[in-house]
C-alpha cells in the first residue's frame, strides 16, 4: 500500500464519493464489536480486539461528522459500545430506537485455532499465523433489507480494495467454523445469515473485519494511524456512496430509548478459533 498521509486519504475518500441529496439527513449506528469485559480475539502481542474496534469506530464517527462541514446532506453517526457484557440483540435495538438508517459493526479478525502457532517473546507466549491477512465484510440474508445491506457491503469492499487492501478468503474454507458462502466474491463480501447483529437489525446492516490481528505484520500495520485512516476512509466512502444511491429516507416516529441488556456470553459473533456449525440454525 502507498504511504499516503491520513489527511490525503480522508480528502481522497470524500473526493471520490458520490454526492448526497442536499436536504437529507442520514443516521448511522457504529457498533464497537465486543466489549471490554468480553473483548473478542486477542492479537499476537496480547491486545484485545475490542480496543482495535473502538479506535476505528471513534475515527469513523469523527470523519462522518467532518463530512457535514461542506454543507449539503447531514450524516449523524453515533457509537454503540459498552465496557460491560451486552446482549447482541440490544445493539440493534439501540440502533432502532435512534432511527438509524444504517448499522455498521466494526471488528478485527483472527483465525481458527488449528492454524495458530505458538512462540515465546520476552517471556510471553504469543499465538500467531502468517497464513491469513486482509479485510472481509459480512451480511445476513435474513436481514429484512438484505439488498441494501449487500449494496453497502459491496461499496465498502470495493473502497477497501481501492485503498490497497486485499480480501481475506479464509472464511470460505470448507471446515467447521468457516464455510461462509460468498455474497460478492469480487468485493470481498460473505454471507453469515445467523449473525445476530445483522439478522436482527431492522435497517441495512454490515459487519466489517478490518484486518487479521493474529498475523504479526498485519497487527503492527493495524496499529499505524495511516492504516487506520485508510480503513476509515474506505468505510466512509462506502457509506456515502450507498446513501447517494439510496431512495429518500422515510422514518417512523422515533421509538423510546431502550435499556442496555447485559448477558454473560454474547453469542453469534463470527468468533474465529471456535468450532461452529457451518450453517447455524439455532436462533439466538
The CATH number given to whatever domain includes residue 98 is 3.40.630.40
- 141 within some domain: yes
- 31 within some domain: yes
Query: Please, which residues have CB within 8 angstroms of residue 232's CB and are 6 or more apart in sequence?
Result: 10, 56, 59, 60, 63
Which of 55, 73, 46, 58 shows the shortest CA–CA distance to 242? 73
- 88 within some domain: yes
Determine the structural domain holding residue 62 and report its residue range: 24-245
pTM of the model: 0.85
- 273 within some domain: no
| C-alpha span between 93 and 162 (Å, rounded) | 33
Share of the chain above pLDDT 90, in %: 72
Place of cell 450507498: 242
- 275 within some domain: no
- 185 within some domain: yes
- 151 within some domain: yes
pLDDT tens figures, 234-264? 999 999 999 998 876 665 555 555 555 555 5
Tell me how many domains the chain contains.
1
- 214 within some domain: yes
pLDDT tens figures, 79-134? 999 999 999 999 999 999 999 999 999 999 999 999 999 998 878 899 999 999 99
Instruction: Provide the pLDDT confidence category of residue 269 given band limits of 50, 70 and 90.
Output: low
pLDDT tens figures, 175-215? 999 999 999 999 999 999 999 999 999 999 999 999 999 99
Amino acid at each position: 500500500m502507498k504511504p499516503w498521509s491520513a489527511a490525503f486519504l480522508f480528502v481522497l475518500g470524500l473526493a471520490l464519493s458520490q454526492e448526497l441529496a442536499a436536504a437529507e439527513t442520514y443516521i448511522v449506528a457504529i457498533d464497537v464489536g465486543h466489549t471490554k469485559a468480553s473483548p473478542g480475539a486477542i492479537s499476537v502481542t496480547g491486545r484485545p480486539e475490542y480496543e482495535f474496534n473502538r479506535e476505528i469506530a471513534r475515527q469513523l464517527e469523527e470523519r462522518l461528522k467532518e463530512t457535514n462541514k461542506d454543507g449539503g446532506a447531514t450524516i449523524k453517526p453515533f457509537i454503540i459500545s459498552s465496557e460491560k457484557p451486552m446482549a447482541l440483540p440490544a445493539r440493534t435495538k439501540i440502533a432502532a430506537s435512534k432511527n438509524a438508517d444504517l448499522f455498521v459493526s466494526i471488528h478485527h479478525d483472527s483465525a481458527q485455532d488449528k492454524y495458530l502457532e505458538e512462540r515465546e517473546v520476552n517471556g510471553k507466549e504469543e499465538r500467531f499465523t502468517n497464513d491469513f491477512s486482509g479485510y472481509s465484510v459480512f451480511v445476513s440474508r435474513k436481514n429484512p433489507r438484505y439488498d441494501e445491506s449487500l449494496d453497502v457491503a459491496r461499496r465498502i469492499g470495493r473502497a477497501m480494495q481501492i485503498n490497497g487492501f486485499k480480501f481475506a478468503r479464509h472464511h470460505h474454507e470448507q471446515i467447521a467454523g468457516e464455510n461462509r458462502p460468498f455474497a460478492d466474491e469480487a468485493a470481498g463480501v460473505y454471507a453469515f445469515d445467523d449473525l445476530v447483529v445483522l439478522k436482527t437489525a431492522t435497517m441495512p446492516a454490515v459487519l466489517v473485519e478490518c484486518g487479521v490481528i493474529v498475523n504479526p505484520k498485519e497487527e503492527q500495520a493495524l496499529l499505524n494511524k495511516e492504516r487506520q485512516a485508510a480503513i476509515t476512509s474506505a468505510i466512509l466512502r462506502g457509506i456515502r456512496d450507498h446513501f447517494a444511491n439510496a431512495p429518500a429516507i422515510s422514518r417512523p416516529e422515533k421509538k423510546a430509548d431502550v435499556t442496555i441488556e447485559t448477558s454473560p456470553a454474547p453469542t453469534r459473533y463470527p468468533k474465529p478459533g471456535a468450532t461452529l456449525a457451518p450453517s447455524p440454525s439455532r436462533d439466538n
